[in-house]
Amino acid sequence: MKIEKIKTQILIIGGGTAGCYAALTIAENSDAKTLICEKAHIKRSGCLAAGVNALNAYIVEGRTPQDYVEYVKKDADGIVREDLLLTMSERLNKVTERLEQLGLVILKDEKGKYVTRGNRNLKINGENIKPILAQAVENLPNVSILNRVNIIDYAVENNRINGAFGIGIENNTFYIIEADAVIIATGGAAGLYKPNNPGFSRHKMWYPPFNTGAGYAMGIRAGAEMTTFEMRFIALRCKDTIAPTGTLAQGVGAKQINSLGDVYETKYGITTSERVYGTVNENLEGRGPCYLKTEGITHEQDESLIKAYLNMAPSQTLKWIESGKNPSQQNVEIEGTEPYIVGGHTASGYWVDTNRATTIKGLFAAGDVAGGCPQKYVTGALAEGEIAALSAVDFIKNHKAQSIDKEKIDKQKSEIKKFIGENNSNFTIEQLEEAMQTVMDSYAGGIKTNYRFNEKQLDIADYKIKQIYQLTDRLHADDFQELMYIYELRERLTVCQSVIAHLKARHETRWHSFAENLDYPEKDNKNWKKYVNSRLENGEIKIILRELVKGGTQFEHNN
């Protein structure tokens, strides 16, 4: 094992959508020395690897940022931070224009105005959106990038972050990185629950399987306050390929129908969670499978869909071609995915202020790790990257990191040595990951129980997840990539414990499927228009209930 010590002013953990944009913003507003640590390679890492079909968060002419806030608030049934949503929404159009300057193709009319799809969406060619962003970052003078370096923990002293520890998965190196400020942008968490297809295609999932909740887990361990983990995200997707359905629903107006051919979406409602819930219920009541009705669309629509999917989810196009039938000739079967924790779609993540400062001094959060601000999509993640970057630039003017003490470094080193040392394990990393997913599936509202759970089940889940965590202590890694897998498994197990605690804490069912508590099947506006937050204290998850931050006011940390 090699050891490398690095000093930087700003460390960005995760070179995805939010992280890359944070780097761009820093370089445009300061000459701060900046380092991005990315566990893959920024060219295609994160959520945008395959591309994206549309920009789903844009303020179209005649609409205001406040309208976007209202839309999100309604979709999340009130449990959002309006202050965060508004500060994000105000930046959506500016970051969109920046993306276009960088080279993203956005459809315009003959007058040069963006062509909009509905009230919030723009049509683009997003296949190469990530390489475009990455290239802009690679050209920045004061920004260096460490690809294939996975950050495994923060270095925090007295609630102040001084940097982080990482492992180089291809160069067997242990990194000690000191930084005056840190931006966490590692994305959300996939792979907590057993996926739709747990066999060969286990990673054919909605969210990047490589997003393991690292940012959440490191925050939880460091005692950061976290919010709304109980608001899980479940996507309604094309069966098997787990390709997006929005393109069919909004693009060609395909309705959700059951096997009898009846349109059922109007019966349950059209918020994200209601669309999933309706599909689950139709199946439970014997009217499955469910479809998006594409039969009868035109030949031109067929061609456009086939191309649109190649630009974001090529497996769906392949499925159409392999079956020998276009969408006009067969309806597209749909299903719910396994639950994810993802702050870009729901409100899970760090409890932050409008500067995206977390409760740990010097640590700022952007994108899917930042809570309270759902429906970010790509542009919202960019907007948050920008806000977090400006905050970090401001912060380092008056704050310098303390050096990381030797005891902390030695503790990390000895843990790594233990994992790569002698192999005493009965279990493999893969076995424990499957065990975790089975527990979450069975006892914490996975696909198996139609996303439903009760308190007794959650208690069992909590007990078993803690047991599995203990087993990770004896895992063995043959190389540093496997070492990363051990840390990733632990991250997921840490996030699972918080998810379970949050699901247990909210004594109501506000969002069908996302958090369907059978002990409390009704919505309770009198008692539960509140945030469920948590913080790890002396090894125990402490639940903190907070009153909603009212529209027009801003939340500020008081520490």
Asked if residue 413 binds other proteins (CB under 8 A), the reply is no
User: Using CA atoms, how far apart are residues 132 and 117, in angstroms rounded to an integer?
Assistant: 23
Q: Is 118 in the site for other proteins (CB under 8 A)?
A: no
Least distance between other proteins and beta carbon 484 (Å): 8
| Amino acid (1-letter code) at residue 219 | G
Q: Where are the alpha helices (DSSP H) in 103-213?
A: 129-138
| Residue 106 binds to other proteins (criterion: CB under 8 A) | yes
Which single residue is written with the structure tokens 């948050």? 384
> Does 307 engage in binding with other proteins (CB under 8 A)?
yes
- With binding defined as CB under 8 A, does residue 135 bind other proteins? no
In this chain, which of 159, 201, 271, 425 binds other proteins, going by CB under 8 A?
Answer: 201
Among 200, 286, 470, 559, binds other proteins (CB under 8 A): 200
**Which of 201/259 has CB closer to other proteins?**
201
| CA–CA distance, 277 with 106 (Å, rounded to integer) | 34
**Residue 153-182 contact track with other proteins, rule CB under 8 A, x = bound:** ----------------xx------------
Exposure string over 328-359, b if 16+ CB within 10 A, otherwise e: beebbebbbbbbbbbbbbbbbbbbbbbbbbbb
Report the relative pairing of strands 121-126 and 143-147 from DSSP bridges: unpaired
- Cβ-contact 181, 312 below 8 angstroms: no
- Window 480 to 499, contacts with other proteins (CB under 8 A): 481
Q: Which is nearer to other proteins, 24 or 243 (CB)?
A: 243
45 binds other proteins per the rule CB under 8 A: yes
Query: In the window 53-92, what residues touch other proteins (CB under 8 A)?
Result: 53-54
Q: Which of 7, 33, 43, 448 binds other proteins (CB under 8 A)?
A: 43
CB of 198 to other proteins, least distance (A): 9
**In the complex, what is the shortest distance from the CB of residue 151 to other proteins, in angstroms, rounded to a whole number?**
15
Residues 361-390 contacting other proteins, CB under 8 A: none
Contact status, residue 517 vs residue 526, Cβ threshold 8 Å: no
379 backbone φψ class: left, alpha, beta (φ>0; ψ -120 to 50): alpha
Site string for other proteins, 223-252 (x = CB under 8 A): -----------------xx-----x--xxx
Q: Return the closest-CA partner of residue 3 out of 416, 407, 401, 486.
A: 416
Q: Which stretch binds other proteins (CB under 8 A): 2-10, 33-41, 462-470, 517-525?
A: 33-41
Is 123 a binder of other proteins (CB under 8 A)? yes
The alpha carbon of residue 526 and the mean position of all alpha carbons in its chain are separated, in whole angstroms, by: 30
Both tokens assigned to 500: 């379970």
What the block records as the tokens of 267 is 């019966």
The values of phi and psi at residue 201, to 5°, are -95, 35
The angle that helices 455-472 and 429-443 make with each other, rounded to 10 degrees, is 170
Interface residues with other proteins (CB under 8 A) are 39-41, 43-46, 49-50, 53-54, 105-107, 115, 117, 123-128, 148, 169-170, 197, 199-205, 208-210, 240-241, 247, 250-252, 304-308, 310-311, 314-315, 317-319, 321-323, 481
